[in-house]
Structure 1
Amino acid sequence: MSDARRAATPSRKFSEPHYIVLLALLLGSQPIATDLYLPALPAIAAELGNPALTLTGLTLAFGAAQLILGPLSDRFGRRPVLLAGCAAYALTSFAGAWVTSLAALVVCRCLQGAAMAALVVCARASVRDLYTPVEGAKALSRGLTGLGIFALSAPLVGALVVAQFSWHAAFVALGIFGMAVFAWVWFFFGESLPPRTPVPDADAEVSATRAVLGDARFRAWTAVLAASYSTLFCFLLSSGFVYIKVFGFSPLGCGLVLAGNSLSYIAGTYWCRHLLKQRTPDRAVSVSSRFSIAGGLLMLAVALVAGAPQAWAMIAGQYLIAIGHGVNQPCGQAGSVAGFPQHAGRAAAISGFLMMLAAFIVGQAIAPFLGVSAWPLVLTNATGGTLIALSAWVLVRRAHAPATSARAT
């Protein structure tokens, strides 16, 4: 593959189709972990108590563990961290199937979130190991198409499993998924990390972190990622309450809205690959952010004119945002690690942590209003779409301006 920078061990031949499947599995571990067990929540609540902490704990552990596992993957390699993460993901899932208390289930989910961090951060870092930044964005868009398929199918699979067996079976299914990913890594993924200089000391570690945080392109792309992910997170958190409790949709109707959102996101990942044939990633998000801001402002404008949020406008606006998200995420994830071939794991970890932190803060802000009104979702989408556009049009454009000027001269 001429445009990929091959760095894996010579004993394992690189296969791009195998690697794209691996990307889909690794990145898809997140929606699988969160969405597959959603149909089990009522049964868990009836047997063990309020399961809200099982999702919050997973999210917080996932965000925090990236800060540890990203640098570890830079130091010891992607493959050992991935294998350990896959094994832990499977084991904690199986353990969750057999617990008898809510506290034990929360512990299992926190450990699973930490294991999931290894999968996601190594996926993003390995793209930088193997590809140039532009080609990396294309590869990520293909992997994120798989993530969209997982997000679309996971709740349906979870509902079937829980209906046929029990909520425990949902965690067994998660464990089987973890074992499948472990096997794929074992058989089809050689080490992608290029040969290293001697292990850095503590001062070098601090210096590397400062270099990542001080880079204008890293900050710009992370701003796009955080704004885009937080906007989507608010939709996922609020949609069931808004469409069922506020607008009176049936559970099936709400499920169809969520399915449409996943399909729009998948379409966005395909559009991303089309844009990258003609544009650089910074110019691609300049185009896709128009969809993001248009979706948010559509919701807000219709609500202001009508005097209240309207379901049709919220659905249409959300789908526009999801299409933009399908471009923003692969370009942002590739762009945030592009300048750090020696510290791709660290850069991926820091940007991933900041994404999760932003989503958690915004989610906590709207949590008290869930089911009461659709206005919080309208306002977060309008604000999020605007922030996505500003990040793309101002921060990313400014960060890439020196390179653009240099090419012009």
Structure 2
Amino acid sequence: MGSLTFIRHNAHRVDVDGHAMLMHVPTTSLFEMDEVSRAVYDLFRRAGSADAGTLRDELGGRFAPQALADCLQSLISLDILRDAAAPETPIRVQAVEDIPLSTIILNVNTGCNLACTYCYKEDLTTPAKGEKMDFATARAAIDLLFRQAASRDRVNVVFFGGEPLTNMPLIRQAVDHAEARAAELGKTVDFTLTTNATLLTEEIADWLDAHRFGLTVSMDGPRAMHDRNRRTVGGRGTYDVVATKVRMLLARYRSRPVGARVTLTAGVTDVLAIHDHLINDLGFAEVGFGPATSGPIAVFNLQPDMLKSVFEDMKTLGRRYVEAAIRGENIGFSNMHQLLTDIAQGMKKAVPCGAGLGLLAVDKAGDLH
């Protein structure tokens, strides 16, 4: 072999409870290192580059030649080691030419019965004035999903708004059609819906439960924080009605865990208090946090001191999540859960969302986004 050089920005060693772990930065994969890989990694990290003679002199007395060769090949394949003659040339990434569709998002109504101050939808209006999707459009979109997902065993239909529950007749028709097509094709279809919960009834909750919907409720924490932004068209806070509906929902929903989705804005940054209230007082299975990204509308943006506070709370909650996990418990911090799942599966998101990468959204006219 020729001389190899160490690509520092592609690898990071982390020692955890006596285990040497290698974080592969390009894929966010996490590997446990054996004695050979630890020795090879430490040599290259210290020396920067090495050739066959250096490896033989430094490590030949401890490890068999084949073990060293196998380790080197693994590190080369991960782009942690490169040919020293061309250190700026990364390994060639295999382009993915075909990504089968897995998820279709149906924008069932642009109308919403609330007027949350941070809402980003430019076309948002009241339910009666909203642009409602009809069944013909939904059916065509679902049929497209099944055609394009021919190689997948499982697909997902997401109902989106506005407030999707303002078009329940369409949702019921779409579910019936999707379940029938899935049965014909031998596939599994999942349904997902995010709601403000204000329109939930016992009958709707039981119907969603029967069809195993993955439900997320938009809720920003205790009354004072929730009512700061999540208001009616008349400007009144919605905490009381949402909390009442949530308690009813969680008391009877059995098919899947129900989560809460929190939007963090100026004045709504106490991550620990919000998590405690939504998990322990109301009974959600999990809570996920996302900051408002309002661009020039600076009133909602998290300022540097707010971001620092949020990040410190996130770290505290992350430590609690790990401590609970070691005890075999789950405290329902979905940001941390998703992060660790991605690391365990070696997933890296090169783009912020999945649009065009297995996911398409459909509007009232049937146009794809």
Higher strand share: 2
Say whether the fold is shared (TM-score over 0.5). Answer: no
Q: Which has the higher contact order (CA 8 A, sep 6+)?
A: 1
Give the TM-score, by structure 1 length.
Answer: 0.20
